[in-house]
Amino acid sequence: MTLNVENRDQMFSDRENELKSVLDLLSRRSFRLSTVRMLLFLASVSFLILYFAVYRHVGLIIAGVALLIALLAVVAYHIGIKNRLSYNRHLQIIHGEYSARTAHMFDKLKDDGKEFVNADHDYSSDLDLFGPGSLFHLMNISETYFGRKKLKELFLASTDPELSVSSILERQEAVSELFEDPWSLQKFQAKGRMSFRHKHSPKAFLEYAADREPAEHEIKPFHLFLYALLSLTLLASLLLSVLSIVNLYIVAFSALIVQLILTAIHYNRFKYTFETTEGLHRELYMYKSLFEWIEQADVKSALLKDIQSVVADRENTHGGKASEQLARLHVISLFIQARNQPLLFLILNTFFLYDMYCIFFLRKWIKRSGISLPVHLELLGLWEALGSLTMMRIIYPECSYPVFRETEGNTDHSAYFSSTAMGHPLIPVKRQVRNDFILPSGIALITGSNMSGKTTLLRTVGINAVLAYAGTICCADYLELTVMGIGSSMRIADNLEAGLSTFYAELLRIERIVRKSKTNAPLLFLIDEIFRGTNSKDRTDGAQLVIENLLRPWVIGMMSTHDYQLCEVMKEEENIHFYYFSEKYDEEGIHFDYRLSPGISTAANARYLMKMVGIE
């Protein structure tokens, strides 16, 4: 599908009108059916009242019963319409979220992934990958815990030692296919959202389901036979005694005591098992619906076909279709859910030893399907994460996929980055200033005045590398790079609890980058305002020492600085590249163009900025 900003916006507008039209139609139909239901109910009750209170004619009872049957049919049909109405309302909300993404309206997007924020990570906090206004906030459309977790992992792919160009290209192909039908992505998401409330991890149940060994107090079919016989004895003796055919109260009472004792004995044994499944029934229904979608999807890309192959399990090597396995578990979880009501728990276990049957069928399901459940859920998460990556293509339809430079047997070019018209994806298009930037080797020293764009450039390079390794398009007309690890030192703060000053905290981050550079693995580093927390001589000497440690064939990086003495010292170094940002002054104030140029800046605007805020 060929898309640009203009026809995307038109397509989204058409889709919005279409959804509104469908919602209006279903709302009117639902209102009419509510009216019909009320009229049928009143008419049915009227005929029955006439029959019992006025005139006992068979025609009245037949009419009343017929209207009651018609009412039940209308109710069933109305439930279907209400479900469609709910589904389309979710679709409309989701479509509104898609539109909000294209305009960077983060306040209309709920899930910002703030629990994934890790200030100690090599680069995620510096590059705004998680939290309010983050890349995750902009792109995530996952409705499950596993989709959110997988998207997080893809954003951190550069830390994966097994990351390869082939795996990235596989994801690119899958993202391209999903992008061809964005409305299907919305429908898939709506199916999940309809029956899903909390995106938490079913970790406890997965750990329980992974244990396929017989439990210490395993319930076997023979035990169920004895339990059924005991319950039958209780009910039969009680019924016969009530009907006064024979007095068997002592037998009923004895059977009742035995069942209560068995229930009490097994209560604590099964308590943890039941807690792991508590409240899972809603999620299981949602998982079942999503797996059905995947199994029925018409896919062509290798990665999507691989996911579908495992989930559909047409060879029946993993216990059958994932949706069917989840459907069986959903039914079991519904029965387990019933026992959570205290009165039902007492009645069901007093007369039927209900818990024993629930445990038996749950363990039977685990023996057959428990081993494949984590695999299926991980694949579902990958499918959702690929859908989230598609958002970049929707937000930036005119941008392109990155090109990867092969590095095997060519250590001189094991680290490389080159871009044309590259922008920061978290900045709305209307405010973006895009720059060309190339770093074939060595280190780029970025100079310029305060607020001129140095830090944004570092983050732009880093976040586009993250997008490239995740497997989606980058915010650039063209980007070529190699697979590299990423290390950054940008948002440095003191840590009073750990007793760390800002300077020492920065030293630790930079030491980590230097240590990574010694592993002979390709590395991209980003250091903002190096050693800003110390005096000028120490800053220059320290920065020079860091640069000497990082000048390796497999390392490239960027370092922003106000230290012009450092630039003078490094001028003669062959693998140091200089770029700068500039600004202009006039009677209206200071103006930044955020345009990157080769060379070294000599401008300083601190005194001017101080004057602007009233410090003279």
Which residue ranges form the domains of the chain, and what is each CATH number? 5-196+388-395 (no CATH), 203-383 (no CATH), 403-612 (3.40.50.300)
Say what the pLDDT of residue 197 is: 55
How far is 240 from 252, CA to CA, in rounded Å?
Answer: 10
Rounded Cα–Cα distance for residues 271 and 276 (Å): 9
State the Cα–Cα distance between residues 529 and 446, nearest whole angstrom: 9
Q: What is the DSSP letter of 215?
A: P
Cα 20 to Cα 25: distance, rounded to the nearest angstrom: 9
CB 104 within 8 A of CB 139: no
Separation of alpha carbons 120 and 124, rounded Å: 9
pLDDT band at 608 (very low <50, low <70, confident <90, very high): low
Residue 449: predicted pLDDT: 80
pLDDT for the residue numbered 411: 45
Tell me the three state secondary structure of residue 195.
coil
Q: Rounded to an integer, what distance in angstroms lies between the CA atom of residue 413 and that of residue 450?
A: 33
Chain length of the chain: 616
What is the chain's mean pLDDT, rounded?
87
Tens digits of residue pLDDT in 11-27? 999 999 999 999 999 99
Across 37-46, 196-205, 260-269, which has the greatest mean pLDDT?
A: 37-46
Of the chain, the percentage scoring pLDDT greater than 90 comes to 54
How confident is the model over 224-238, as a mean pLDDT? 89
DSSP 109: -
pTM of the model: 0.88
Which of the residue ranges 178-192, 338-352, 451-465 would you say has the lowest mean pLDDT?
338-352
Q: Is 80 exceeded by the pLDDT of residue 375?
A: yes
In angstroms, the CA 123 to CA 134 distance is 13
Closest CA to 276 of 324, 181, 320, 211: 211
Indicate if the pLDDT at residue 34 is higher than 80: yes
Tokens of 420: 């044309």
What pLDDT does residue 499 have?
43
**Residue 209 pLDDT > 90:** no
- The average pLDDT across 379-395 equals 96
Closest CA to 339 of 288, 285, 263, 282: 263
**488 - beta bridge partners?**
526
How far is residue 186's CA from residue 11's CA, in Å, rounded to a whole number?
14
SS3 content of the chain, % helix, strand, coil (to 5): 60, 10, 30
DSSP SS3 for 160: coil
Q: Which residue has the higher pLDDT, 493 or 309?
A: 309
Is the pLDDT at 497 greater than 60, yes or no? no
55 Cβ partners below 8 Å, 6+ apart? Answer: none
